[in-house]
A and B are shown apart, each in its own frame.
Chain A
Amino acid sequence: MAENFEKAIREICEQNANDHTRMMDIVREVQQRFGQVSSEAMDVIADAVNSHRVEVESVVSFYSFLSEKQKGKFVIRLCNDVIDKMQGVDKVAQAFQEELGINFGESTADGKFTLEWTPCIGMCDQAPAALVNDKMITRLSSDSAREIVKTLLENEDENRLTHMIGDGNNANPLVNSMVNNNIREEGPVIFAELEAGKAIHKALAMSAVEVIRDVKTARLRGRGGAGFPTGMKWEFTRGADGDEKVVICNADEGEPGTFKDRVVLTEKPDLMFEGMTIAGYAIGAQTGVVYLRGEYAYLRSYLENILAERRNANLLGNNILGKEGFNFDIRIQMGAGAYICGEETALISSCEGLRGDPKNRPPFPAQKGYLTLPTSVNNVETFCCVAQIVDKGAGWFAEMGSKGSSGTKLLSISGDCIRPGVYELPFGIVISDMLEKAGAVDAYAVQIGGPSGQLIGKADFNRTICYDDVATGGAVMIFNKDRNPLEIAHEFMEFFCEESCGYCTPCRAGNELIKERLEVIMRGEGTPEDLTYLEQLGNTVAVSSRCGLGQTSPNPVLTSLKNFRGEYEKLVKENKDGMQRTFDIHKALATGEELQGRKSVIYAD
């Protein structure tokens, strides 16, 4: 038995060439086969790939989808982001708990089920949603939750859970998912038709430098949120020392409220791969990697199949479309449940088989990225734009949008609106127009750019979506008057605390402290000084954090304090008697009273 176990683990390592940089693939496979990466497995893996046990443990303990402890045959991960909560996930959660007889974070005694919470899985427009192993289940109710448990008990097969099939390529046999695209508005860039290979053909007729020039002329900026000029990034990567270079596609969208890349991956993967290949040509790269978030594993075989088709059509591989010496191929790297891996240097760490810790900059990825090779990391949507720019011209692209932000932007809109889903809208659109399109008739607060963005109120609805005004990676969450901005901010702070990698002090400890004080205020125990405290603490975290996660993590509190200060002021009270308002004498005495078996006479009530 033990021998077989060791043999199986060694086989998995061998399939990955005993290469420690493929650690993610190894531990993912072990997790899938055995429901855990046990202590024994860690020893075997470390030995096989010539690493150290503690290094394997370090990786396994980092990612939510990996576990040293045994998980059930069916892992139910219920999404607990703010939108799911608004859509009644608590009732769904209760139904799962009752049916399974366990709490969240526990497994059933028979080893069949594990029940867990998970942050946003990219289904805010069809919430509440859950993952059952790799299977995506949307629009849950307490009834369907009970049905799921029943079906799994009867059939022991999560594939039997999908009754209704979603629209578009969700119905493709390789996807076979109940997910819906909910494409509400198709624009001229991402959703425009483009025959596979056409843009590559045009690119190959130009020099690499000319391709980069076109991308610069189009004034394309990164669509992931940071907005760095794509052409410049490519130019740096192309100009960096070294013959071997890498193109990475960031398909790790994990910002709560974002799901536009999921729709692109489902409906426009060819366009994305086309853009990546053009990037490979422009930069002089041979290797392409798509870092696909673990939650989207259900799209993997579908995407692999498209890659195979593209290889057959000589759109990937050697001497692409007859261009002597242009060799480029793409592999898919699966993530394993860590929001931080959407940060480009953390993503690179993860691709290298490490914990998803961000790296120190400099060196920038363009100089030394994946396995120290010059690397350009770009967003799913950015690559799609590139393919269309090459096909239809830089001028065509630059004419769309606003002055500093050319082209269109994909927005994932969810929350209190009639038409949640994906919208391709020109940059520069006024927020109130966007809300009208989505059917948000009574919007009170709008979170733009996800938790790391800003929570704005009516006073800002006349502003525009673009890099120079209200920037966003694509997430728009709408809240009506019944929602409490403090509760929204609290949800997001919980998210950041959960997802902080813990590398640097301000993000690791500071976010916990922000959350603590916010809770004090929400309990009605805060004083006006607590608002200043939060601003100063938030500023320290934002200024001194090492990467974008920590630099933006105080935003939920800082922007709600700015735009919804009245909501905070309603809850805080002047401290007139000089006593700490968080101090409760009865609570403080409780342990002592219990030990003594009698109540305090002085503090009787």
Chain B
Amino acid sequence: MSDKIKFTIDGVEIEATPGQTIMQAADEAGVYIPRLCAHKDLLPFGSCRVCTVMVNDRPQAACTQPASQGMYVESETEELRQIRTNLVEMLFVEGNHYCPFCEKSGNCELQALGYRLGMLAPKYPYMFNKHDVDASHPDIYIDHNRCILCARCVRSSKELDGKNVFQFVGRGIHKKIAFNSDTNLAATNVSVTDKAIENCPVGAILTKGVGYAVPIGKRMYDSQPIGSDIEARKATEK
């Protein structure tokens, strides 16, 4: 295997196969780089920017930047931790996130990342932007208030479900998820078993009838911070 690429993240040597992104190689090596829009089954997208790392002193998104021989990557620096926290806080104030009574609480990647980064109340003022909800579908509930515009639903529907249910409309702060119909979600060919539904990292796309199914204490991020599964790979290697 002489075609392996070697580079370092925070001084730790990482091996990558050609074509892998920094994040993919880091994941395999058990080095967790925080992320929200990235998902292991989806093509890299690079919209949340939470995985911003310094590559040879230049900022790059770890999820889209290919690994290359000898690159010098910094991830857990004070500056980058601050930038990540700032980005997560921006998402919290841009949307309307009601963690205490959100069905996704404890299983939400945004909330979990907030905890991992040590975020308390956001330092930015809430925007209180007005968003719609769509409860038209018998099995699925969409709350744009909790959407972080990561496009996981857009990409999952295209890449995994072979459909085209979701897409963005508008631009800037008015950008939002729309459905492939002139009325509502119920008029699309979406199904509750679609990967697009499962892969939402937050409480924006929810399955009806299963709210609060897991008791507090047993939820995904109750006992271990987000990213622990990836970091566990390193532990088992040793």
Contact residues of A with B, CB < 8 Å?
A: 39, 42-43, 52-55, 57-58, 61-62, 338, 340, 355, 360, 362, 497-506, 508-510, 512-513, 516, 533, 536-537, 540, 543-546
Contact = CB atoms under 8 A, between A and B. Distances in A.
B173 A540 contact: no
A42 B181 CA distance: 10
Contacts of A513: 90, 93, 124-125
| Of listed A62, A505, A508, A536, residue having the most chain B CB within 10 A | A505
B47 A546 contact: yes
A231 to B, nearest CB: 23
Interface in B34-67: 44-50, 52, 59, 61, 64-66
Contact of B125 (A504, A505, A506, A516): A516
27 contacts: A54-B180, A54-B181, A55-B167, A57-B178, A58-B168, A58-B169, A61-B169, A61-B170, A61-B178, A62-B171, A340-B171, A360-B46, A498-B172, A499-B172, A500-B173, A501-B172, A502-B149, A505-B47, A508-B94, A509-B127, A509-B173, A512-B94, A512-B127, A512-B173, A533-B123, A540-B82, A544-B49
Contacts of B87: 505-506, 540, 544
Interface string B169-188: 11111110011111000000
A543 B52 CA distance: 9
Given A502-B149, A506-B49, A508-B173, 4 more contacts: A57-B169, A62-B170, A502-B172, A509-B90
Interface of B: 44-50, 52, 59, 61, 64-66, 82-83, 86-87, 90-91, 93-94, 123-125, 127, 148-149, 164-175, 178-182
Contacts of A39: 182
Contacts of B94: 505, 508-509, 512
A513 B90 CA distance: 8
A58 B86 CA distance: 29
A39 B179 CA distance: 13
B68 to A, nearest CB: 10
Contact of B90 (A498, A505, A546): A505
Contact of B178 (A54, A512, A543): A54
Given A54-B179, A61-B171, A360-B64, A505 B48 contact: yes
B204 to A, nearest CB: 15
Contacts of A505: 47-50, 87, 90-91, 94, 148-149
B79 to A, nearest CB: 8
Contacts of B165: 54
Identify the interface centre among B61, B148, B180: most chain A CB within 10 Å of its CB: B180
A494 to B, nearest CB: 11
A499 B127 CA distance: 19
A502 B182 contact: no
B49 A52 contact: no
A503 B174 CA distance: 11
Given A360-B64, A513-B124, A502 B171 contact: yes
B45 to A, nearest CB: 8
